[in-house]
Amino acid sequence: MSPDLVTPGSVRSAAEVNEQIRALWLRAGGSLSAQEREQYELLVVEWASAIRSRVVEAA
């Protein structure tokens, strides 16, 4: 696991995670390796969790 990844339950904002997703795609040049795809999938799950938390807080 990459040291850049945060365990589930992260307190990072959706914007912070989104920035990491964008940086990953830029570094990969638009084509992800197997390891990068795994990192991407974890980031997307974290991003979705952050979005859900924000929606719950707003309600």
List the domain range (segments joined by +) for residue 49: 31-59
Q: What's the total number of domains in the chain?
A: 1
For position 3, what pLDDT does the model report? 43
The pLDDT assigned to 32 comes to 97
Contacts of 20 (CB under 8 A, 6+ apart): 4, 43
Residue 48 lies in a domain: yes
What is the reported pLDDT for 19? 98
**Residue ranges of the chain whose pLDDT lies below 70:** 1-10, 56-59
Q: Is residue 52, in this structure, part of any structural domain at all?
A: yes
Is 16 part of any domain? no
